Amino acid sequence: MTRERAPRASRRAWTVMLGLLVPLAVLVVSGLVLLWPAGEDRAAWDPAALGEGVSYVSGTVTMVDLRKCPDAESTGCAAITAEIDGTEGSLYVPPEAMAAGIAPGDTVKAIAMDAGLDSDPAAEAVTGPADAAPPGGSAGPNDPGAADYVFVDFDRNLSLGVLAAVYALLVVLVAGMRGLRALLGLVFAFVVMLVFMLPALLAGSPAVLVGMVAAGLIMLVVLYLAHGFSARTTTALIGTLAGVAVTGVLGALWTRWARLAGIYSEETYVLSWSAGVSTGDLVVCGILVAGLGVLNDVTITQAAAVWELALARPQARVRELFASAMRIGHDHIASTVYTIAFAFAGGGLTVLLLVASSSRPFLESLTLGDLAIEVVSLLVCSIGLVLAIPATTLIAAVVVRSGERGRTGAAREEPVSR
């Protein structure tokens, strides 16, 4: 049985594409070198700095006696026993965790207090002053000061680890080696963000430039790693980078026009005051990162659609291929716009509920503070997506037909990457 073969891009098309990508790759590598954070990062905030004699520990709940805490869901309870580092001790659990439900066998993370450091400020911040016991008696079962440990959160290492393993296994089982390469690309993307992008932002580098360099590096590696080096992947990469550029420009323009550089939360205040990060540039950087996944999705799909149409219709011209692929693109635009909007609504559901329950008009609330930033991000990413689809489709149609060299009939061929 003859193996299916797809049209091959001409040498001229490759020259043009590489002529665009090689300088971009050089700029990305140069930006990576120039913006790489040198020396110690300027840490803005260390939530783990609890003070001398105070440490984080993990353990297992062994007993819950709510008879001593009838109002546990409103006051918390210290009459809970946990085994930590082989030793049992009392654990204070705040009301919000009691409401979520805590039972023997639950693994938890807690703060251990050194009994000899009763006057330590960090200890008092958690358990209250040492002399806070009721007059004429010891601390009661609702008092954090009565416990050896203070609950921080449930230990979710196992549950989240199992979920990640199931996801990775399903991707590999369904998509094979291509799925495995995609997972490796995802790991690489997070390494870039953790090792380069976040430290560079904390070091005071321009957030927009850092975001552009990180986005370019991630796309250059991830697309080729997941889909292989081919003309089809290269056209998708060019379309993706064009979408990233449009998203970055529009994000910078609307961030300044809408004056989104204000401080609307504790996080932005800490970053602005301690690390000197420009909040406006940080918004643009966030928009760039938010748009990467969606842009990659639509461009690689459109390029694949053009290649498959060219294989099925070897006589079709560039204009016909573009028109056919854009009919697919129209549906893709509609569904992806819904995806972005629903992701925004789901991620900010709690905030949206608060907005809906307030006396302020809903649409007016969307133009204020952090919600305005989310709205701009959603709309700018959607515009980049809408423009990237026809751009990628046109580039792919021209490239896939460039190998014909004026022939009628079948084009020069190469094996289809499966």
The pLDDT tens digits for 11-36 are 888 888 889 899 999 999 999 999 99
Q: 134 and 183 share a domain?
A: no
* Position 24 in a domain: yes
Whether residues 139 and 20 share a domain: the answer is: no
Q: Which candidate, 205, 179, 396, 363, places its Cα nearest to that of 282?
A: 205
Residues 145 and 224 in one domain: no
In a domain, 171, yes or no: no
pLDDT at 116 over 90: no
**Number of separate domains in the chain:** 2
DSSP, res 61: E
Higher per-residue pLDDT: 44 or 82:
82
- State yes or no: pLDDT of 133 exceeds 60: no
**119-123: average pLDDT:** 42
Place of tokens 């091959």: 8
Model confidence at 166: pLDDT above 90: yes
Is residue 329 situated within a structural domain? yes
How far is it, in rounded angstroms, from Cα 283 to Cα 255? 7
334 & 249 share domain: yes
Q: For 89-102, what is each residue's pLDDT tens digit?
A: 888 888 888 888 88
Helices (H), 348-368: 349-357, 362-365
- CATH code, 138: 2.40.50.140
The number of residues in the chain equals: 418
Indicate the helix (H) or strand (E) that contains 177: helix 157-192
Both 403 and 288 in one domain: the answer is yes
Q: Is the dihedral of CA 99, 104, 110, 116 positive or negative?
A: positive
What pLDDT is stored for residue 99 in this prediction? Answer: 80
The residue from 120, 155, 190 where one domain ends is: 155
Q: Are residues 63 and 34 in the same domain?
A: no
pLDDT confidence of residue 120: 42
Burial class, 14, CB count within 10 angstroms (exposed 0-12 / middle 13-18 / buried 19+): middle
Q: What is the pLDDT of residue 259?
A: 81
Residue 170 lies in a domain: no
Domain match, 26 and 86 both: no
**Which of 126, 155, 184 is at the close of a domain?**
155
Whether 9 and 121 map to the same domain: the answer is: no
Mean pLDDT of the chain: 79
| 136 shares its domain with 212 | no
Under a CB-based contact definition with an 8 Å cutoff, are residues 147 and 79 in contact? Answer: no
- Give the pLDDT of residue 6: 60
Q: Amino acid identity of 243?
A: G
pLDDT in tens, 355-391: 777 777 877 777 777 788 888 888 888 898 889 999 9
**pLDDT-derived band of residue 83, with 50, 70 and 90 as boundaries?**
confident
Q: For residue 161, tell me if it sits in a domain.
A: no
From residue 281, give the alpha-carbon distance in Å to each of 3, 198, 210, 212: 51, 13, 10, 11
Residues 238 and 144 in one domain: no
161, 162, 159, 165: which is closest to 107 by C-alpha? 159
For residue 271, the model assigns a pLDDT of 66
Residue 62 lies in a domain: yes
The answer to the question of residue 169 being in a domain is no
Q: Which residue type occupies 116?
A: G
Query: For the chain, percent helix, then strand, then coil, each to nearest 5?
Result: 65, 10, 25
Measured CA to CA, the distance from residue 81 to residue 63 in angstroms comes to 5
Claim to verify: residue 222 and residue 255 sit in the same structural domain: yes
Q: How far apart are CA 241 and CA 239, in angstroms?
A: 6
Between 132 and 39, where is the model more confident? Answer: 39
Is the confidence at residue 75, as pLDDT, over 60? yes
User: For position 141, what pLDDT does the model report?
Assistant: 63
Q: What is the pTM of this model?
A: 0.76
User: In this structure, which long-range contacts are made by residues 342-345, counting pairs with CB atoms below 8 Å and at least 24 apart in sequence?
Assistant: 344/374, 344/377, 344/378
Task: Domain of residue 64: give its range.
Answer: 54-155
| 47 found inside a domain | no
Tokens of 189: 């993307």
Encoding tokens for residue 94? 């705040």
Cα dist from 108 to 42, 185, 313, whole Å? 31, 33, 61
- 43-49 average pLDDT score: 50
**Residue 348, pLDDT score:** 75
**Same domain assignment for residues 257 and 181:** yes
